[in-house]
Amino acid sequence: MTTITAKWTIDEYHRMIAAGILSDRKVELLKGEIVEMSPEGEPHAYCSDEAGEYLAKLLGDRAKIRQAKPITLPNESEPEPDIAIVQRLGREYREHHPYPENIFWLIEYANSSLEKDLETKSKIYAEVGILEYWVVNLKKLHLVVFRDPLDGEYATKFTLTAGNIQPLAFSDISVAVEQIING
């Protein structure tokens, strides 16, 4: 017997949230499926918080750093990346979460969610054309960088453990890998 999973639209997902159905659950919508999010351990919470502050200082008024807030994607996904570096649209975000065209790049911190972040989410983000996506592997303390979305996957993928990286959207900025990995 084949199991068929019910798929949800973003609108249906928003109605469930508004009705309070998901209020006691930590979930996100990925390709029409409501997926439980892993609890945040201390290293995850610390490192993502510190990196967010570091990036906010580094980028100043050029971008907004959103931490653990939803983004809305046209492939029936509304993930909550640990850090989203987005355009400063002010009150426009009262009406909608950032769309792909508002996103400079995304960062996820992964321990127990490593496979989901490296596989599932990388494909979801590449499919909608997000130019750059970083995953911090908290177990091995390295940064996996995905770039150049092509046919639903990232054409470029490399790993860093030290040094600096220039984000594609801000090639004049040098980000210390150590600050992103260790906070």
> What is the residue-level pLDDT of the chain in tens, covering all 183 positions?
777 778 999 999 999 999 999 888 899 999 999 998 888 888 999 999 999 999 999 999 999 999 999 999 999 999 999 999 999 999 999 999 999 999 999 999 998 878 888 999 999 999 999 999 999 999 999 999 999 999 999 999 999 999 999 999 999 999 999 999 987
Does 46 fall in a domain?
Answer: yes
CATH code at 141?
A: 3.90.1570.10
Does 14 fall in a domain?
Answer: no
Q: For the purposes of burial, counting CB atoms within 10 Å of the CB of 43, is it exposed (0-12), middle (13-18) or buried (19 or more)?
A: middle
State how far Cα 183 lies from the chain centre: 17
Supply the pLDDT for residue 23: 86
Supply the pLDDT for residue 112: 80
d(CA 27, CA 24): 9
Does 76 fall in a domain?
Answer: yes
Q: For the purposes of burial, counting CB atoms within 10 Å of the CB of 38, is it exposed (0-12), middle (13-18) or buried (19 or more)?
A: middle
Does 12 fall in a domain?
Answer: no
**CB-based contacts of 58, cutoff 8 Å, min separation 6:** 173, 175
d(CA 135, CA 118): 7
- The reported pTM is 0.93
Does 33 fall in a domain?
Answer: no
Does 77 fall in a domain?
Answer: yes
Supply the pLDDT for residue 37: 87
Sign of CA dihedral 43, 44, 49, 55: positive
Does 108 fall in a domain?
Answer: yes
Structural domains counted in the chain: 1
Does 25 fall in a domain?
Answer: no
Residues of the domain holding 62:
38-182
